[in-house]
Amino acid sequence: MIVEQEKITYRGKEVIFRCATVDDGEMLLEAYKKVTGETPFLAADADEINLTVEQEKAFIEKNNSDPHTLLLLVFVDGQYAGNCSFAGKNSTRRTAHRASLGIALLREFTGMGLGGIALERLLAEAKKAGFEQMELEVYSENTRARKLYERLGFVECGSIPDHSRVNGESFDLIRMYKRL
């Protein structure tokens, strides 16, 4: 889905939330590789991101045309800072009330409260789109993300031990949900 661009001032900076266009494809792919290299808390290593620009553009188009998905980019003073997204679990009517989200900010833009503002916006759009439950997965060691999700009202509902091994360290995966 496509939502209207929103511009706010946050800590003296201009913050823009907007959907991606295919022209963002190359930049988004580079940023995706960069952020996976910066944090151990995403699902893959940077050298495992083998998407082409064409595939990234197709991903953007799919997100924009599918009424059950939203890909929201965040820009701070004109610089790309990261993105958040949700996707509905609408493959059957039985699960169509649920969606799951993801978020990844470039390291330079973490730790300043931007994640919370972006997710509040995302959750509002998910509710507007008719979803009743938002779900997510987070590594146990990702203290910052877990704090943020708890502040936003997410509740833990299970975990998978030894879910991922990152640089020789084993991470459990925690599942969380929030009623919208």
Report the interface residues with ligand COA, using CB under 6 A: 39, 41-42, 82, 103-105, 110-116, 138, 142-145, 147-148, 151
CB 99 → ligand COA: shortest distance, Å?
15
CB 26 → ligand COA: shortest distance, Å?
21
User: How far apart, in whole angstroms, are the C-alpha atoms of residue 60 and residue 138?
Assistant: 24
User: How far apart, in whole angstroms, are the C-alpha atoms of residue 44 and residue 33?
Assistant: 10
Nearer to ligand COA, 62 or 107 (CB): 107
Residue 36, C-beta contacts closer than 8 angstroms, at least 6 positions apart: 42, 44, 45, 46, 48, 49
Nearer to ligand COA, 42 or 60 (CB): 42
Nearer to ligand COA, 105 or 123 (CB): 105
CB 84 → ligand COA: shortest distance, Å?
8
CB 112 → ligand COA: shortest distance, Å?
5
Q: Is the dihedral of CA 149, 96, 51, 6 positive or negative?
A: negative
CB 152 → ligand COA: shortest distance, Å?
8
Q: Provide the pairing of β-strand 98-105 with 133-139.
A: parallel
Look at phi and psi of residue 113 and say left if phi exceeds 0, alpha if psi is from -120 to 50, else beta: left
Nearer to ligand COA, 151 or 179 (CB): 151
Name the residue with the smallest CB distance to ligand COA.
115
CB 81 → ligand COA: shortest distance, Å?
9
- Beta-bridged to residue 14, according to DSSP, are 9
Nearer to ligand COA, 57 or 126 (CB): 126
User: How far apart, in whole angstroms, are the C-alpha atoms of residue 166 and residue 35?
Assistant: 15
Nearer to ligand COA, 67 or 113 (CB): 113
Can you give the C-alpha Rg of the chain in angstroms? 16
